């Protein structure tokens, strides 16, 4: 399966012009429902000034939930309610109960949720609903296109990444993920989300075997050379080395790489912090390593990162 795979219109955003809103209290087919106003108590401290439309929709929604009506009109009411407040978990939950009760075509719900995600890409409840619908369908064929479109707009959207990782882990769809990581890191070497996804993919496919560690170290050092102050790549390197038998301090290629940066005076905060980690690991068996940590902390405190001088001085004292 690739990002371009799709199952039809339900994978795409549906843009249609809706008729003008009519208050539920003015609708003939809702005359049998007695709305339930929100009860803020006798003396609300800070009463929210809801719009007339908001009060109308949620007054009728409370009435529908109170009598547990699960109908087509109730489903439409939840849509209006969610358009007014897409973060309302209770409305999303009730909508799912209606969908299950009516046994409607859930692919139409995919289109609805895609529209909601397009409008509210950082809303947790919208993404959770999407996940629930995909679980009910047992079909992830639309999810790569959905997340790809969202990540093209915002390559660091945590919710899109979380959803994509859930999909590929749940359905075992890892095939194209390393290529995605390579492309995103090539486009922006500082994309921490792409580095995190790379670790996730390697950890859940080949694992960090000795051969994979060599490959990933080579790749990461190449990326660090492009931007030595890129904390994302240094963190990834640290994570890879922690999976190796020799740990953070024992990789000769990495140690030589760092030494060459120091010799060429190509110094960054991230390099020195990494070397502190290396020497902290060595300090358990090498007393000279502790002195090296103090020396590195002094460089950071006085020259490279003086804004955090107190922290580096404190760290030096704790060695």
> Which of 169, 187, 202 finishes a domain?
169
Q: Write out the catalytic residue numbers.
A: 122
Is 138 inside any structural domain? yes
Per the CB < 8 A criterion, the answer to whether 124 and 159 are in contact is: yes
Is 201 inside any structural domain? no
Quick one: 29 and 155 in the same domain?
yes
Is 239 inside any structural domain? yes
Tokens of 132: 């629930």
CATH code, domain with 87: 1.25.40.120
Nearest to 69 by CA among 37, 38, 39, 36: 36
Quick one: 140 and 4 in the same domain?
yes
Task: From residue 259, give the alpha-carbon distance in Å to each of 263, 275, 293.
Answer: 6, 10, 15
Is 238 inside any structural domain? yes
Q: Is the pLDDT of residue 86 over 60?
A: yes
Burial class (CB in 10 A: 0-12, 13-18, 19+), 151: buried
Q: What is the pLDDT of residues 27-83, one digit of tens each?
A: 999 999 999 999 888 887 887 889 999 999 999 999 999 999 999 999 999 999 999
> What was the pLDDT predicted at 7?
44
> Which of 135, 169, 203 finishes a domain?
169
Quick one: 114 and 254 in the same domain?
no
Quick one: 17 and 165 in the same domain?
yes
Q: What is the pLDDT of residues 292-311, one digit of tens each?
A: 999 999 999 999 999 999 99
Q: Give the confidence band of 8 by pLDDT, cuts at 50, 70, 90.
A: very low
Quick one: 45 and 137 in the same domain?
yes
Share of the chain above pLDDT 70, in %: 94
Quick one: 152 and 242 in the same domain?
no
Quick one: 226 and 84 in the same domain?
no
Quick one: 133 and 264 in the same domain?
no
Per the CB < 8 A criterion, the answer to whether 199 and 236 are in contact is: yes
- In this prediction the pTM is 0.86
Q: 46 — alpha (psi -120 to 50), left (phi > 0) or beta?
A: beta
What is d(CA 197, CA 178) in angstroms, rounded to the nearest whole number?
Answer: 9
What domain count does the chain have?
2
Domain that holds residue 143: 1-169
Quick one: 20 and 163 in the same domain?
yes
Is 306 inside any structural domain? yes
Q: What is the pLDDT of residues 267-282, one digit of tens each?
A: 999 999 999 999 999 9
Quick one: 2 and 139 in the same domain?
yes
Tokens of 222: 């190449």
Is 174 inside any structural domain? no
What is d(CA 211, CA 202) in angstroms, rounded to the nearest whole number?
Answer: 12
Quick one: 9 and 135 in the same domain?
yes
Share of the chain above pLDDT 90, in %: 85
> What was the pLDDT predicted at 46?
83
> What was the pLDDT predicted at 43?
81
Phi and psi, residue 291, nearest 5°: -65, -35
Q: Give the confidence band of 13 by pLDDT, cuts at 50, 70, 90.
A: low
> Which of 169, 189, 209 finishes a domain?
169
Quick one: 40 and 151 in the same domain?
yes
> What was the pLDDT predicted at 199?
98
Q: Give the confidence band of 200 by pLDDT, cuts at 50, 70, 90.
A: very high
> What was the pLDDT predicted at 4?
40
Is 212 inside any structural domain? no
Q: What is the pLDDT of residues 152-196, one digit of tens each?
A: 899 999 999 999 999 999 999 999 999 999 999 999 999 999 999
Is 34 inside any structural domain? yes
């Amino acid at each position: 399966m690739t990002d371009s795979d799709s199952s039809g219109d339900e994978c795409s955003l549906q843009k249609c012009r809706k008729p003008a809103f009519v208050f539920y209290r003015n609708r003939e087919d809702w005359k049998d429902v007695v709305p339930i106003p929100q009860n803020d108590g006798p003396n609300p401290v800070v009463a929210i000034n809801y719009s007339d439309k908001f009060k109308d929709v949620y007054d009728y929604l409370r009435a529908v939930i109170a009598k547990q009506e699960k109908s087509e009109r109730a489903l439409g009411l939840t849509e209006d309610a969610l358009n007014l407040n897409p973060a309302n978990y209770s409305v999303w939950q009730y909508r799912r109960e209606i969908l299950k009760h009516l046994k409607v075509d859930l692919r139409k719900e995919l289109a609805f949720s895609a529209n909601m995600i397009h409008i509210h890409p950082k809303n947790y409840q919208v993404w959770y609903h999407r996940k629930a619908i995909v679980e009910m369908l047992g079909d992830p064929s639309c999810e790569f296109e959905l997340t790809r479109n969202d990540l093209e707009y915002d390559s660091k959207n945590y919710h899109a990444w979380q959803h994509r990782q859930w999909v590929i882990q749940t359905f075992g769809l890892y095939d194209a993920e390393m290529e995605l990581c390579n492309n995103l890191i090539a486009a922006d070497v500082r994309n921490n989300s792409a580095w995190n996804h790379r670790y996730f993919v390697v950890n859940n496919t080949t694992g960090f075997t000795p051969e994979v560690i060599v490959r990933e170290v080579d790749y990461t050092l190449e990326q660090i050379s492009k931007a030595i102050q890129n904390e994302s790549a240094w963190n990834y390197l640290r994570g890879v080395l922690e999976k190796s038998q020799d740990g953070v301090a024992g990789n000769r290629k990495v140690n030589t790489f760092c030494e060459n940066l120091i010799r060429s005076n190509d110094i960054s905060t991230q390099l020195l912090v990494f070397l502190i980690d290396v020497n902290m690991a060595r300090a358990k068996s090498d007393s000279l390593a502790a002195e090296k940590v103090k020396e590195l902390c002094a460089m950071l405190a006085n020259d490279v990162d003086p804004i955090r001088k107190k922290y580096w001085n404190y760290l030096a004292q704790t060695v």
